[in-house]
Amino acid sequence: MANCLTLKKSNCKNCYKCIRHCPVKAIRFSGNQAHIIGNECILCGQCFVVCPQNAKEITSEVEKVKVLLQGGSPVIVSLAPSFAANYDGVGIASMRDAMQKLGFYDVEETAIGAAIVKNEYERMLKEDDRDIVISSCCHSINLLIQKYYPTELKYLADVVSPMQAHCMDIKQRYPTAKTVFVGPCVAKKDEAEYYGEAVDAVLTFEELTEWMEAEHIQLRSETDVTAESRTRFFPTTGGILKSMEQETGYTYIAVDGIENCMSALEDIKSGKIHKCFIEMSACVGSCIGGPVMEKYHRAPIKDYLAIANYAGAKDFDVVQPESVKLKKNFSFIEHRLPQPTETEICSILRQMGKVKPSDELNCGSCGYNTCRDKAIAICQGKAEISMCLPYLKDKAESFSDTIVKNTPNGLIVLNESYEVQQINEAARKIMNIRSASDILGDQVVRILDPSAFMSVMQTGRDIRDQRVYLAEYNRYVEQTIVHDKDSRMLIGIMRDVTDEEKEREKKENISRQTIEVADKVVDKQMRIVQEIASLLGETAAETKIALAKLKESITDE
């Protein structure tokens, strides 16, 4: 299969949107990057449409076409009839004028090839003994049946697509010509490369528009309605049926969208459907809802009206080739990976925390319809356990809950209305709260003075390591309050410092008592000193008097 879709790895943000929208889950994830699985992909282009980062790109063939234009052969465009919806108010003549300025020899409508295919469908139903016939115009539907419904291949019309039929017709009329198909489809690039030499290159409307803009070529607003153009209806849901002369004895049904087509194929597989011609289109709305149209120009009603107003009531005048020249063989395309054993599936489910059926939420956030499908994809190397959102959520919550429950600090979380959202056991112990359910959802004022929280909200300044006394609980705490603006939550962290505070007070009391004792001792010592000094003074005075008298007596002698 051609590598029509590529991935810009730097753009992939691991959002899983592509796998959620891929109808056949043909995407694997490795290293947090999405990778398209070529042999499983049906090229419906939904991953290209839904990618929010434009990580999926359609491989451009503009340079290839420019090389063809530089050659000596005339290059003729087969223009998909959905152009009338993509380019507002523009007819085939205007498109021809613009594209000839790019160097193309001529531009014709693929609806001419559609008329050839439609004629062959009518012949098939009238002359061949067929029970069920599924249209083969849509390459994505063909790939879906080839890869996922091989038992229904016998019902797929073995007829070339309008693109191929028209390009074969062009080359019949211009033997040296090169052909380029232009349309809204990704799958046509693969079809052109895989099936022979009828189509030399394929461009999308996006590629053509960018090319014309680069060359400053503007389309002229001018329509050219032609009565012989009934197959211009082909790009709409039921457009093939509108173009066909319906055979008696058959039921004609139009089904669009991959999921609806898969349901129809399941019904066919079960044997519930008979004598039907089923027009199947991968895109909702058929080709006017193609991936390039849907991403850049999605207006279903307006687009349908543009096609309906442009289509005529009669058939194109075509030269119908022999049926054998329109034959197209479809074979089964093997793609399936080995099916894991039940033991392997259960092992992966257990790793995702799915130990019983009630654990399997089947939420689809990973992109798979069921947890079991996801487990199988993991076994096959297409998915990773980390893609399970409930698993990641439970893991994160379990980790955070373990921290919250086991931290010695009290933790209380409020919303911006000051209502308690979470409170851990340590905080409940500080505030003598028996159970978290007693306070969750209530105003914090029931258990705490909210002024500190209100201050943080109003000033925008967090509080860090503020020591406060909770009088109602006779406890001292060191509190930190922060406002998490992203989650719109107020987080209070309280460290119980009651024992530290009591120990500090005890030490202060001891110190105070020691100082008081020391002061008393000093005072007492000072009094003793003073008394001693007084006694010593009196004794010294008496001694002085006695000595004086002794001196006088000695002198008299």
Residues 487-509 pLDDT 10s: 889 999 999 998 888 888 788 88
The pLDDT score that the predictor gives to residue 2 is 53
Q: Where in the chain is the domain with CATH 1.10.15?
A: 340-405
Six token digits for residue 297: 């120009």
pLDDT in tens, 31-58: 778 888 888 999 999 999 998 888 888 9
The pLDDT score that the predictor gives to residue 350 is 87
d(CA 54, CA 535) in angstroms, rounded, equals 108
Question: Using H for helix, E for strand and C for coil, what is the string for 108-135?
Answer: EECHHHHHHHHHHHHHHHHHCCCCEEEC
How many CA atoms within 13 Å lie on the side-chain side of 176? 6
335-357 average pLDDT score: 85
β-strands 276-281, 132-134: how paired? parallel
pLDDT at 127 over 90: yes
pLDDT at 398 over 70: no
The pLDDT score that the predictor gives to residue 529 is 79
- pLDDT above 90 covers a percentage of the chain that reads 60
- Backbone torsions φ then ψ of 57, nearest 5 degrees: -125, 145
pLDDT at 1 over 60: no
The pLDDT score that the predictor gives to residue 396 is 65
Q: Is the overall model pTM greater than 0.85, yes or no?
A: no
Long-range CB pairs of 348-354, under 8 A, 24+ apart, other chains included: 348/375, 348/378, 348/379, 348/385, 349/375, 351/385, 352/385, 352/388, 352/391, 353/390, 353/391, 353/394, 353/395
Lowest mean pLDDT, pick from 21-25, 256-260, 360-364, 544-548: 544-548
Q: Which residue has the tokens 């790793």?
A: 351
d(CA 201, CA 163) in angstroms, rounded, equals 11
Region class of 476: left (phi > 0), else alpha (psi between -120 and 50), else beta: beta
Output the CA angle 233-235-239, nearest 5 degrees. 45
Does 1.10.15 match the CATH number of domain 340-405? yes
pLDDT at 238 over 70: yes
The pLDDT score that the predictor gives to residue 231 is 96
The pLDDT score that the predictor gives to residue 78 is 98
pLDDT at 557 over 60: no
Lowest mean pLDDT, pick from 242-246, 378-382, 446-450: 378-382
3-state secondary structure of 151: helix
pLDDT at 184 over 80: yes
140-145 average pLDDT score: 97
pLDDT higher at 230 or 7: 230
338-343 average pLDDT score: 87
pLDDT higher at 224 or 151: 151
The pLDDT score that the predictor gives to residue 295 is 66
pLDDT in tens, 285-331: 999 999 988 667 678 899 999 999 999 999 999 999 999 999 999 99
Q: Where in the chain is the domain with CATH 3.30.450.20?
A: 407-496
The pLDDT score that the predictor gives to residue 381 is 83
The pLDDT score that the predictor gives to residue 65 is 97
Report, at the CATH architecture level, how domain 407-496 is classified. Answer: 2-Layer Sandwich (3.30)
pLDDT higher at 529 or 73: 73
Alpha helices for 195-299 (secondary structure H): 205-214, 239-243, 258-269, 291-296
The pLDDT score that the predictor gives to residue 294 is 65
pLDDT higher at 98 or 16: 98
Region class of 440: left (phi > 0), else alpha (psi between -120 and 50), else beta: beta
To the nearest 5 percent, what fractions of the chain are helix, strand and coil?
50, 15, 35
527-544 average pLDDT score: 77
The pLDDT score that the predictor gives to residue 232 is 96
Task: Evaluate whether 45 touches 185 at the Cβ level (below 8 Å).
Answer: yes
